[in-house]
A and B are shown apart, each in its own frame.
Chain A
Amino acid sequence: MYSITVLSGKGGTGKTLFSTNLAWLFHQKGTTAQLLDVDAEEPNASLFVKFIPIHAQNVEKWIPHIDENLCDRCGLCMKECQFSAITIAPKKTAVLAALCHGCGLCAKICPQKAITEVPKTIGNIRLGKTEEGFSFGEGILNIGEPSAVPVIRQLKKTASKDSEIRILDAPPGASCAVVESLAGSDFALLVTEPTPFGMHDLRAAIAVVSEMKIPFGVVLNRFDAGSTAYVEEIRHLDAEVIATLPFDRKIASAYAEGKLILKELPKYRPVFEQIIEAIGRGSA
């Protein structure tokens, strides 16, 4: 299975537009494709494909439970917890579940064996296929939960590995959730826009994929007459612009109606063909 992660740095540059249309195009061309929406804080790829869920499961984080009768208030867990998730006082103890990363260290090191780990549901994953016929999955983080990482990890692990191509629609930014999305990917598609904000966040995204040694290409969305300077700027970042999608009101209208650009505006198919070709070169 060849795995492509679509990320951007800046939000709203077109990650979902490119990942949904690419998955559809791969499928059209007879490649078995899978699309995973790993933007678990606000998954939206299913607005553009008709998702038929077949399998769902909860995602749990294991957080410490302290048995007050066994705890002798030594404070070792509080001292060692890197995330300050445990507070031990002479009369009370508190576990701050939102800060806990579920690493299990506290339970392992407690000299009194007073700590057990209990599951807390933080979200869920849904797997199935689209009406168009390709494999699809999405992760959903519960409202108020601070980290999507466990949801992304479980979705990637549980989803079938039978497809030839897996496309991951990543969250915006360059944080832990993006790193988790990228882990194990063969290629990263960086979507950006010709604005100072787009460029700023593209630099952060390039830094992450370079650090992870993942081959990548850049796609410039909303390209217009004033964008050529940005192509030059991107080249100076040692990155290649593998395709550009023009600024076109019709694209925005179709997208706003939840439609795939390739179905509504087939004249843009060469842009996506170009991307597939570049990905092929990147893997060779």
Chain B
Amino acid sequence: MVTAEGGTAEALVCNRLARAPFFLIYDTQAQQWTSFQNPYQQEHGMGARIAQFASEKGVEVILGAAPGPNAKAALDTMGIRVAVSAGVTAQEALSNYLAGNV
């Protein structure tokens, strides 16, 4: 899952993790992107909410900004890793990750 500024794979990776406007999920088997608007942008404890959201969607890795302490604790509990990614589009972040460069 990429935490992104926009709703397509051409959108830049957002410099905020849980407050990113869009969550783009890439299914490595179907090789397909699905876009979700962040439903928690204004809520308390978004850090933990993003872990719950990602877990429900079966996400294994998040590509985005480094998590804060609350998000990290929740993501660790859910067994979801974060690979820090910045300054690139969602598609580039994915390619870099799949190529083992993150």
Question: Which A residues contact B (CB, under 8 angstroms)?
Answer: 78, 82-87, 89, 91-94, 96, 98-99
CB-based contact B78/A87 at 8 Å: yes
The reply on B70 being an interface residue by CB < 8 A is: yes
Pair A96/B44 contact, Cβ less than 8 Å: no
A93 near B70 with CB under 8 A, answer no
Residues in B whose Cβ lies below 8 Å from that of A89: 55, 77-79
Which residues of B approach A to under 8 Å, CB–CB?
43-49, 51-52, 55, 70, 73-74, 76-79
Which residues of A lie under 8 Å from residue B78 when comparing CB positions? Answer: 87, 89, 92
Given A87-B74, A94-B74, A98-B70, check contact A78 B52 (CB 8 Å). Answer: yes
A78 vs B55: C-alpha distance when bound (angstroms) = 13
Most buried by B among A86, A93, A94: A94
**What is the count of residue pairs linking A and B with beta-carbon distances less than 8 angstroms?**
47
- Are A84 and B44 closer than 8 Å at their CB atoms? yes
Docked complex Cα distance between A87 and B46 (Å): 12
Query: With A89-B55, A89-B78 as given contacts, are A84 and B73 in contact (CB-CB < 8 Å)?
Result: no
Q: How near does chain B come to A83, taking the closest CB pair, in angstroms?
A: 5
Assembled-state Cα–Cα distance A86/B78 (Å): 12
From residue B5, how far is it (CB to closest CB) to chain A in Å?
23
Find B70's partner among A82, A92, A96 (CB 8 Å cutoff). Answer: A96
29 chain-A/chain-B pairs, Cβ below 8 angstroms: A78-B52, A84-B43, A84-B47, A84-B49, A84-B52, A84-B70, A84-B74, A85-B45, A85-B48, A86-B48, A87-B51, A87-B73, A87-B74, A87-B77, A87-B78, A89-B77, A91-B79, A92-B77, A92-B78, A92-B79, A93-B77, A94-B73, A94-B77, A96-B45, A96-B70, A96-B73, A96-B74, A98-B70, A99-B45
